[in-house]
A and B are shown apart, each in its own frame.
Chain A
Amino acid sequence: MGKTFAEKILALKSGRESVITGEIVTVSPDVVMSHDNTAAIAKKFKQIGVEKVKYPEKIVIPLDHCVPAATEKYAVNHKEIREFVQQQKIENFYDINTGVCHQVLPEKGHIIPGTLVLGADSHTTTYGAFGAFSAGIGRSEVASIWATDEIWLRVPETIKINIDGDIPPEIYPKDIILHIIGDLGADGALYKAVEFSGKVIREMSIGGRMTLCNMAVEMGAKIGYVEPDEKTIQWLAARTNKKYEIIKSDTDANFEKIINYDISKLEPQIACPHTVDNVKPVSKVVGTKINQALIGTCTNGRLEDLKIASKILRSKKISNRVRLLVFPASMEVFAQAMELGILQELVKSGAVIMNPGCGPCLGAHEGALAPGEVCLSTANRNFKGRMGCKEAEVYLASPATVAISSLYGEITDVRGDLK
C-alpha cells in the first residue's frame, strides 16, 4: 500500500523508514515561525535555561499582529522582540514594514515543497499550498524547538478532497472553502491532513490555494496540502534558489476518506455569526445591513483579491454607511497595487487603505466595532468577540462579495445586476 504525503514527510523528518497514522513521532522542523508573540515565547525560552537558540537560521519572525504598535504595551512588546532577535542573531526578522506572516514567509522564499514548517499561529496551515507540511503549534512548543530543535507530532490520517467542475462566474476560492467548511463542520477534519486535489485545484492560482489551506484549520485540520505543480514551481522560481524535492501522496495511498465536490452550480457563500461553519449562500442573507467591510488578511489580502475588489468598485462610490478598510497582506502587494493604480481606484471609491498587517481581524486595533455593528470581512474567523466586541457581528465572504456589499451598504449577491 502506498503512503500519503503526511506519512512520508513525518517519516523523513523524524528519521524513520516509515510511520503509521496515529503514531506519535519526534520531528525536527525546517522552519519555525512566530510573530508578535515572540517576546512571550522568549520568556518561556529563558525558563528552559538555554543561552542560545539552537538553529537561528531556521527561525523566521515577521511582526504583523499589531503593527505599528497601538499603545506603549505593544511598543514594549516589539522592542523586546527586536532586542531578542539581535541578541540571538536571528537574521530572518521582518519588521512592521513587511506584512502578514503567512504572506511574507512564501514571498521571502522561506517556504519550499517537501519541508516541515511549524508556527505559533493557527493559520500556519497556509503554506501547505506550496506542498510543505505546515501546522500550527503553541508558544511553549516554539520555545522548546528553539532550545532542542525537536517536538512531538501525531501522524494524521488524510482526507482527500477532490474539487471538480466548471467554476461559475463570480465564484472564488473563498466561496469554495466556505462551502466545504459549512458542509464538513468546524471539526469535520479534526486532526486530519486535508489534501485538496482535482481539476479546480489545478486551475486555481497559488493565491487561491493559499486561501484554501489557510482556512483548512477552520474545519479542525492539522494541515492543508496542495500537490505542487508547474504553477508552484514557477511561483517559487521567482522567490528562491533553494533546492527542493516535491513529496506527494502515492496514488494507492490509504486515505481515510475521499470526498468529491462538483462546484459547477456553487453560489457565492457567506459564513454567518458566530461560527465559521455557519455557512449559507449569500442569497439567503442579502439585504443585511453592514457598517464595516474588510478586504485583506492572510486569507484574502493578495494582489488578485485587491484586483477583484477594484474591478467592482472602479468609478463608483461605496455606501456612506460603510467603512471599507483595505489591508494588503504585504508591502510587496501594497506596492504592486499602488503601481497598477488599484489603490487609487479603491481610495476614489471611498475605501481606507491600511498598512499591511492583521489589523482588526483579532480585535487588537485598526477597526474595532461597536455593539450592534455588523462587519463583512474576507478574514478567516467570526467567533463572538473576535473583532473586539462581543455584541458585534462578523460575516465572512470573498473579496468580491465584500466589495459589492460595500457599494450598497448591505450584503449583496455579486452575481446580481449592478444597480
Chain B
Amino acid sequence: MSIKGKVWKYGDDVNTDVIFPGKYTYTITDPKEMATHALEDLDPKFAKKVEKEDIIVAGRNFGCGSSREQAATCLKYAGVGVIVAKSFARIFFRNAINQGLPLVQCKEAVENISSGETITIDFEKGKLSCKKGVFNFPPLPESVLGILKDGGLIPHVKKILKIEKGE
C-alpha cells in the first residue's frame, strides 16, 4: 500500500483543541461537517484547501490534549491520507488508527521535508521518499496494523464478532 501526496507542515505539540475545537465537540456530529473545521484554530486555510491524499507532516507530540476522536475523524474526512510526525500523543495515535487513518513516526524524515512538496510513502517497505532522500520508518505493531487494514476499529470488531458467531 502506498500514498503520494502534497505536504502540509506544522510544528510541535499540535493539540486537539486546534485540530477540532471543544466548542464543536457535542454539536457537530456529521464527519463531513467536522472536516470543514479541521485545524481551524491553527491554520484557517487548511480545511478549504486540503485535497484528497494530502499529507500532514508535523513535529513532536502531534494530537496532544483532549481525547476527542473528532480530531482524527475530521482529518480523515478532510481527505488526509497519512500523518507523518516525530511523535504522536497516545490517545490521538489510537483514535487515528481506529478511524483508519495511517500514521508514520519518523523524526529524520520530518526534519527533511518541506511544506508543499510531494512525498511518497510505501507502508509495506517502510520507506518515505521526499526531495531530500529516502527514509526508513518502523512498521506499526501487527495488532494495530490489523485494525488499520480493516478500515478502523468498528469494522474490525464487527468482523471479529461475525467470525466468532459463525463458529
Q: Which residues of A contact B (CB under 8 A)?
A: 24, 36-37, 40, 44, 47-50, 65-66, 71, 73-74, 77, 120-122, 136-141, 143-144, 147-148, 152, 154, 186-187, 190-191, 220, 222, 275, 362-364, 381, 383-386, 388, 390
Query: 6 A-B contacts, Cβ less than 8 Å apart?
Result: A47-B154, A50-B161, A77-B26, A121-B67, A363-B22, A383-B18
Inter-chain contact A384/B61, CB cutoff 8 Å: no
Q: In the complex, which residues of chain A have a beta carbon less than 8 angstroms from the beta carbon of B60? A: 187
Known: A140-B95, A186-B13, A385-B17. A122 touches B66 (CB 8 A): yes
Per-residue CB contact flags for chain B residues 90-104 toward chain A (1 = under 8 Å, else 0) read: 110011001100000
**Measured CA separation A222–B94 after assembly (Å):** 12
**Measured CA separation A122–B141 after assembly (Å):** 23
Give 13 new A-B contacts, CB below 8 A, not counting A48-B158, A140-B98: A24-B141, A40-B26, A138-B67, A141-B94, A144-B154, A148-B160, A152-B144, A154-B90, A190-B89, A220-B61, A275-B13, A362-B23, A386-B17
Task: Assess whether B25 is interfacial by the CB under 8 Å rule.
Answer: yes
Task: Assess whether B69 is interfacial by the CB under 8 Å rule.
Answer: yes
Inter-chain contact A137/B67, CB cutoff 8 Å: yes
Inter-chain contact B17/A383, CB cutoff 8 Å: yes
Inter-chain contact B144/A186, CB cutoff 8 Å: no
Known: A47-B158, A120-B67. A187 touches B13 (CB 8 A): yes
Please give the distance in Å from B42's CB to the nearest CB on chain A.
8
Q: In the complex, which residues of chain A have a beta carbon less than 8 angstroms from the beta carbon of B81? A: none
Please give the distance in Å from B146's CB to the nearest CB on chain A.
10
Q: In the complex, which residues of chain B have a beta carbon less than 8 angstroms from the beta carbon of A384? A: 17-18, 41-42
Instruction: Pick from B42, B69, B141, B154: contact of A48, CB below 8 A.
Output: B154
Q: In the complex, which residues of chain A have a beta carbon less than 8 angstroms from the beta carbon of B22? A: 362-364, 385-386, 388
Interface residue count on the B side (C-beta < 8 Å)? 42
Per-residue CB contact flags for chain B residues 16-48 toward chain A (1 = under 8 Å, else 0) read: 011001110111010000000000011000000
Inter-chain contact B161/A65, CB cutoff 8 Å: no
Inter-chain contact A48/B161, CB cutoff 8 Å: yes
Task: Assess whether B152 is interfacial by the CB under 8 Å rule.
Answer: yes
Known: A24-B141, A138-B95. A364 touches B153 (CB 8 A): no
Please give the distance in Å from A67's CB to the nearest CB on chain B.
11
B39-72 interface with A by 8 A CB criterion: 41-42, 60-61, 64-69, 72
Q: In the complex, which residues of chain B have a beta carbon less than 8 angstroms from the beta carbon of A122? A: 65-67, 91
Inter-chain contact A364/B154, CB cutoff 8 Å: no
Instruction: Pick from B21, B87, B158: contact of A363, CB below 8 A.
Output: B21
Please give the distance in Å from B19's CB to the nearest CB on chain A.
10
User: Residue on B with the closest CB to A71?
Assistant: B27
Most chain A beta-carbon neighbours within 10 Å: one of B23, B66, B157: B157
Known: A187-B60, A388-B22. A222 touches B90 (CB 8 A): yes
Q: In the complex, which residues of chain B have a beta carbon less than 8 angstroms from the beta carbon of A136? A: 67, 91
Inter-chain contact B69/A138, CB cutoff 8 Å: yes
Nearest 3 pairs of A and B residues by beta carbon: A362-B22, A187-B61, A383-B17
Q: In the complex, which residues of chain B have a beta carbon less than 8 angstroms from the beta carbon of A65? A: 25-26
**Measured CA separation A143–B153 after assembly (Å):** 10
**Measured CA separation A220–B153 after assembly (Å):** 23
Please give the distance in Å from B63's CB to the nearest CB on chain A.
11
**Measured CA separation A386–B18 after assembly (Å):** 8
Inter-chain contact B69/A140, CB cutoff 8 Å: yes
**Measured CA separation A191–B92 after assembly (Å):** 12
Q: In the complex, which residues of chain A have a beta carbon less than 8 angstroms from the beta carbon of B94? A: 137-138, 141
Inter-chain contact B158/A190, CB cutoff 8 Å: no
Q: In the complex, which residues of chain A have a beta carbon less than 8 angstroms from the beta carbon of B61? A: 186-187, 190, 220
Please give the distance in Å from A27's CB to the nearest CB on chain B.
12
Known: A120-B67, A152-B144, A363-B22. A220 touches B89 (CB 8 A): yes
**Measured CA separation A121–B41 after assembly (Å):** 21
Known: A44-B154, A364-B23. A381 touches B98 (CB 8 A): no
**Measured CA separation A122–B27 after assembly (Å):** 20
User: Residue on A with the closest CB to B153?
Assistant: A140
Inter-chain contact A139/B161, CB cutoff 8 Å: no
Please give the distance in Å from A192's CB to the nearest CB on chain B.
10
Instruction: Pick from A37, A47, A385: contact of B18, CB below 8 A.
Output: A385
Q: In the complex, which residues of chain B have a beta carbon less than 8 angstroms from the beta carbon of A383? A: 15, 17-18, 65
Instruction: Pick from A44, A140, A147: contact of B161, CB below 8 A.
Output: A147
Most chain A beta-carbon neighbours within 10 Å: one of B18, B154, B162: B154
